[in-house]
Amino acid sequence: MVNSGFLNLNRLAALMQQRACWLLLSVVSVLFSLSVSASAHADQVSTIFNQLAKSELIRADFEQQKKLASLNKTFVSNGTLTFAKSNGVIWQIKRPVQADLIVTQNKLIQKTQRTYSQIKIDQSPYSSVATLFLQLMSGNDKALAKNFNVLSANYSPTGWNIALTPKSALFKKLFQRIDAQGQQYVNKIVIQEQANNSTTILFRNQTTQPNQLTAAEDALFQLAK
């Protein structure tokens, strides 16, 4: 969310608070196991994460809809996403402005034609939010379990959905609930924020081909090394 609110690293902390993808993050990106051993949803959650963990490399188109209740307006951003389990997530924003956002377990980088900025994940108090979509796409339930509880989870061969609520006092100040749904991949993430604001990220045209990073994608990930 550069001008309209997509991920601007100069305001990264504030914006990440308001939306939690990859990128989401693309994506999404759009969970935690929680004390999943004692959760009535344990089997459903495990099945969903096992499904997500199967994909090593995914590309998709995304659309982010950011609704600001105080302005009675929805800002829309869209572009493409590349998720590589061993690297991270690349959000390539096409509209309303062009920018590349690279999210890895170590860094957040934003690159435009004229600007370049980066933040180390371990230096941000919102690191878990920043990497939420990456953890979700990776099927990393242990990482997400530190910050979220499962409100509900359902899985069937035709689709799954899961609803999360934040555990920590910090995250409770940022958002109230996260809903994600999909089938083979994550298709939709909805983040209910404070003050009746919300962020919805839709993913379409997912594909695992080509099954290796392109030279351009690899070059972007190299920036985060």
Per-residue pLDDT band at 29 (split at 50, 70, 90): very low
21, 57, 55, 138 alpha-carbon torsion, rounded to 10°: -40
Kindly report, residue by residue over 176-222, the tens digit of the pLDDT: 998 999 988 889 989 898 889 998 999 999 999 999 999 999 999 99
Cβ-contact 156, 51 below 8 angstroms: no
Kindly report, residue by residue over 141-155, the tens digit of the pLDDT: 666 667 788 888 899
Task: Tell me which DSSP letter residue 178 carries.
Answer: E
Q: Is the pLDDT of residue 94 over 70?
A: yes
How far, CA to CA in Å, does 53 sit from each of 44, 56, 85, 91?
Answer: 14, 8, 9, 20
Residue ranges and CATH numbers for the domains of the chain are 47-223 (2.50.20.10)
Q: What's the whole-number average pLDDT of the chain?
A: 76
d(CA 153, CA 161) in angstroms, rounded, equals 6
Amino acid in position 86: S
Residue 72 or 39, more confident: 72
- Residue 72, C-beta contacts closer than 8 angstroms, at least 6 positions apart: none
The predicted model gives 104-129 an average pLDDT of: 78
Cβ-contact 158, 187 below 8 angstroms: no
Using DSSP's 3-state secondary structure scheme, residue 182 falls into strand
The predicted model gives 50-68 an average pLDDT of: 88
Q: What are phi and psi of 53, to 5 degrees?
A: -70, -10
Other Cβ atoms less than 10 A from the Cβ of 212: the count is 10
Nearest Cα residue to 147 out of 37, 52, 13, 31? 31
How far, CA to CA in Å, does 13 sit from each of 19, 20, 124, 135, 159?
Answer: 10, 10, 8, 18, 33
∠ at Cα 59 (133, 7), nearest 5°? 45
